[in-house]
A = this chain, B = another copy of it.
């Protein structure tokens, strides 16, 4: 009996690390006024075919269910989000600032940073077409990574603008129908052999040098990216971003700002990516809902690798995990005849909110103290012959005191 390839078991220590990531995601998103939503794990496959491009259809876990519906495990959130917002957009004040952090499923080749089931934080702003919204989303992205203890020496957000590329291409006579193909060549520029890029660009009548010159002196910086950068500067976050027109993003539906986040070391895949998709809601709702939108996705796999590698981030995670050890208080039953009394103490402390554990069966006192240490308990409460008085030991300090059992909740607080 084995796990499927690309899927994960989360043993308690793995689950705690996963919950740490979810906790930082949720905390920072909430501070930014984003509210959480979620959708179903399973959707009709048409939802993913409908989205212009349908790039992910080849990677779907799809099947026909017992009711003859062709369905798919969600590979990304944007189609579900667009479906949900299109259905009830009148119920919400604009702009919507929504996030979610569920599991997604893609049938991918096994490689570092890629799994078939992964978590992904999705943050979106809907109903605001201004650079102020672009900046708010980027600030959130940056502060989430800062929330993990990562600094400007650890990651960079590379900003680009599809509109600038569209203008560049149409200004040089590329037909509208071929714009996406042109962007595809730009997307591969950093990875493809130079001769290949040159040949492909010639098909559009554009010399490689012109493209390189545009990337080197981006007219875009004077355009909408300028407003975004000024906003981020006011927040003190400008050192985390750089303009880099080699970024165009793979998905067809992006319309304006696009961006990707990379570790400065360049060892990992992109940590996150996103952009504007001002036309998608209209496509998804068959023209019923028009709403500008932008968002990003941040997976848990590459992020966890980076948190592991950067000492300040690993340290912050270790502190979070230590504060959540499984027990704070351990009840030591020193006299088996006092077990009923020990259960009373157990209940009292748990009701007062203390994470409290105990030995369910009779055990030597030394063994019980050992168990307390293994669980990382801060206090041991010894119930024995002195009842209704109990002993309280602070395990790290090896100090000891006594109190009446009913006073324990107040006593432990100090």
Contacts and interface: CB of A to CB of B under 8 A. Distances in A.
B10 A37 contact: yes
B83 A1 contact: yes
Interface in A1-60: 1-5, 7-12, 14-16, 18-19, 30-44, 46-47, 50
Given A1-B46, A95-B360, A128-B360, A355 B37 contact: no
A314 interface: no
Given A93-B371, A344-B235, A12 B36 contact: yes
Contacts of A361: 128, 130, 132
Q: Which of A61, A231, A285 gathers the greatest number of chain B CB atoms within 10 Å? A: A61
A410 interface: no
A222 to B, nearest CB: 19
A13 to B, nearest CB: 9
Interface stretch (A157-165, A186-194, A260-268, A346-354): A346-354
Interface in A84-112: 84, 86, 88, 91, 93, 95, 97-98, 100, 103, 105, 107
Given A65-B61, A234-B343, A374 B93 contact: yes
Contact of A235 (B43, B46, B343): B343
A41 B11 contact: no
A206 interface: no
A392 interface: no
A30 B8 CA distance: 23
A347 B236 contact: yes
A35 B9 contact: no
A63 interface: yes
Interface in A234-272: 234-237
A253 to B, nearest CB: 15
Nearest to A3: B40
Contacts of A64: 63
A347 to B, nearest CB: 4
A185 to B, nearest CB: 29
Given A9-B40, A347-B235, A33 B375 contact: yes
A76 interface: no
Contacts of A7: 40-42
Contacts of A174: none
A12 B41 contact: no
A34 B350 CA distance: 12
A131 to B, nearest CB: 9
Interface string A324-353: 101100000000000111011011001101
A390 to B, nearest CB: 15
Nearest to A31: B350
A183 interface: no
B343 A231 contact: yes
A406 to B, nearest CB: 13
Contact of A41 (B93, B95, B105, B326): B105
A31 B354 contact: yes
Contact of A136 (B16, B40, B360): B360
A133 B15 contact: no
Contact of A117 (B35, B42, B100, B132): B42
A226 interface: no
A278 interface: no
Given A33-B375, A44-B2, A350-B32, A9 B39 contact: yes
Given A130-B361, A237-B347, 8 more contacts: A1-B284, A3-B43, A4-B43, A9-B84, A15-B35, A32-B357, A41-B103, A41-B117
15 contacts: A1-B83, A1-B86, A5-B67, A7-B42, A9-B39, A16-B36, A33-B326, A33-B327, A33-B375, A40-B117, A41-B103, A41-B105, A61-B66, A65-B107, A235-B347
**Lowest 7 A-B CB distances belong to which pairs?**
A63-B63, A33-B357, A7-B40, A234-B340, A10-B38, A132-B360, A234-B343
